[in-house]
Amino acid sequence: MRKFLEPFTLKNGATLKNRIMLAPMTNFSSDEKGNSTPEEIEYYRVRSQGVGTVITAVANVIEGGKGFPGEIGIFNDEQIPSLKKLADTIKAEGAKAIIQIFHAGRMAPPNLLPDNQPTSASAVAPEREGAVTPRELTGEEVDEIVQAFGDATRRAIEAGFDGVEIHGANTYLIQQFFSPHSNRRTDKWGGDVNERMSFPLAVIDSVNEAAKHADEEFIVGYRLSPEERENPGITMEDTLQFVNTLKKQDLDYLHISVQDFFAGSMRDESDTRSRVQLIQDEVGSEIPVVGVGSLHTPDDVEKAMEGGTPLIALGRELIVEPEWIQKVEQNRESEIRVDLSVDDRETLVVPQPLWDAIINTPGWFPVREHANK
């Protein structure tokens, strides 16, 4: 039997039926109020049938933290019935339901925000074309956002989710506070590498305070990106210090966000060691690490796990092949799809907004012109 089909028990006692997670991926398919549409619900239902855990797309904890059109909302209590429907759908298929919570910070498109003004740790624009300079958050606003993560966790609990994943990766607000590029603050939220951990740690504390009202198997995970390209930016040395602090928090796993599990440094081409493996080697004996990134086949996943990484998230792979796990279980590995055609949307149960993004973003997915005859 493939190792990734074995169950895994987290330190809080929650048992995942296998080691494969659906990676959190934006699908642009909630309505304007942040409620899940039938199309989005069905997309998750189909992909919850094989994996041990589903981590949803990001959900914004305040209205001013929205990062994508069609994003799940978790910023007011009116969204709880929709969130409950999403959680119930995932759990009914046998998977753990984890909702990813975040604030986009300076990466938020102005047209999605109530006041058209992105905010961040400091008034420093991201290094990308057409970037908007954010407004620096006041100390009071920072406190409110920390509280908003706790409030979002309460809503997740009331909706019946099995856990939350704190999104501290992919250049969004929590990462912006950790980054020396985006955080130039001189108050308690800024400074050296240890002081820049203050906001992420405050968010974790806020989430865990809310999680005291859930049962003890409620899962709290944390996602991080190991490095940034910017100078100054997050280095691997910074991240190894950070994960040694994170392992001491009340967290159930660390999810390492990279495009390719086996890829080396984005800052130093001569450093070809896997970022995920470096973190696994550093703290994996003390906190479970989730690996991700371009692991298309069962053999790819097994190879990634050889270094001790116990959990693997699959993203694009489970869009291209919703039955990835079932085909492994049924000895049909040769039938696992590794690409898709422009005609496959309904077969693969992909919401139209996500499908449009897949088809119109060259290089993101392996796309053929037509289905195999």
Helices within the chain (DSSP H only): 38-47, 80-92, 139-159, 173-178, 198-211, 236-246, 275-283, 298-305, 316-320, 324-329, 345-348, 352-359
DSSP state of 36: B
Q: What is the mean pLDDT of residues 261-276?
A: 97
The full set of domain ranges for the chain reads: 3-338
Q: What is the mean pLDDT of residues 311-331?
A: 98
Tokens 């920390």, residue located: 146
How far is Cα 301 from Cα 275, in angstroms, rounded to an integer?
A: 16
For residue 1, the model assigns a pLDDT of: 86
User: In the predicted model, is pLDDT for residue 373 greater than 80?
Assistant: no
Interatomic CA distance for residues 164 and 35, integer angstroms:
17
pLDDT at 61 over 90: yes
Average pLDDT, the chain: 97
Report the C-alpha gap between 224 and 34 in whole angstroms: 24
Q: What is the distance in angstroms between the CA of the first residue and the CA of the last residue of the chain? A: 32
Q: What is the pLDDT of residue 372?
A: 58
**Domain 3-338, what fold?**
TIM Barrel (3.20.20)
> Which tens digits make up the pLDDT trace of 189-202?
999 999 999 999 99
Its pTM surpasses 0.75: yes
Q: According to the model, what pLDDT value does residue 243 have?
A: 98
Nearest to 40 by CA among 76, 75, 91, 87: 87
Backbone angles phi, psi at 209, to 5 degrees: -65, -45
CA atoms within 13 A on the CB side of 292: 24
The residues that are catalytic are 172
- pLDDT in the model for residue 371: 60
**Confidence class of residue 186 from pLDDT cuts 50, 70 and 90?**
very high
Average pLDDT of 130-150? 97
Question: If pLDDT is split at 50, 70 and 90, which confidence band does 368 have?
Answer: confident
pLDDT tens profile 83-126: 999 999 999 999 999 999 999 999 999 999 999 999 999 999 99
pLDDT of 59:
98
In the chain, pLDDT over 70 holds for what percent of residues?
Answer: 99
Encoded tokens for 274: 């896997």
Mean pLDDT, residues 313-325: 98
Q: What percent of the chain has pLDDT over 90?
A: 97
Average pLDDT score over residue span 37-54: 98
Stretch 330-355: mean pLDDT, rounded? 96
Chain centre distance of CA 369: 30
| Amino acid making up residue 342 | V
Residue 177 has pLDDT above 90, yes or no: yes
Least reliable range by pLDDT among 81-95, 281-295, 358-372: 358-372
- Cβ–Cβ under 8 Å, residues 211 and 252: no
Q: What is the pLDDT of residue 130?
A: 87
Per-residue pLDDT at 336 exceeds 50: yes
Pairing of strands 8-9, 15-16: antiparallel
Tokens of 126: 């991201």
Contact 292, 23 (CB under 8 A): yes
